[in-house]
Amino acid sequence: MMRLLAAFGLVAIAFGLLVLYEPNIMNWVGHLPGDICVEGDGKKISLPLSSILLVCLAVAAVMKILR
């Protein structure tokens, strides 16, 4: 269990550094069909439903493979 937690932490750090140095890699978040974006009166509300679902499925698939 500790190895899995350590591996997850290392992957999270690597992903964070990747996004920090290459911010264009995450342009798809919030722009998929099914993502809700409401703008008005200088305010913007974003609810990335499809993006969250896609990330959740990817994490579940990786966890299933590692288990």
- What is the full DSSP assignment across the chain? -HHHHHHHHHHHHHHHHHHHH-GGGGTTTT-STT-EEEEETTEEEEE-HHHHHHHHHHHHHHHHHH-
**Tens-place pLDDT, residues 10-66:** 989 998 899 889 888 878 777 889 899 999 999 989 899 998 999 899 989 988 998
CA distance 14 to 24: 16
Report the first-to-last Cα separation within the chain, whole angstroms: 10
The structure's pTM equals 0.62
Number of structural domains found in the chain: 1
Give me the domain span that covers residue 17: 2-66
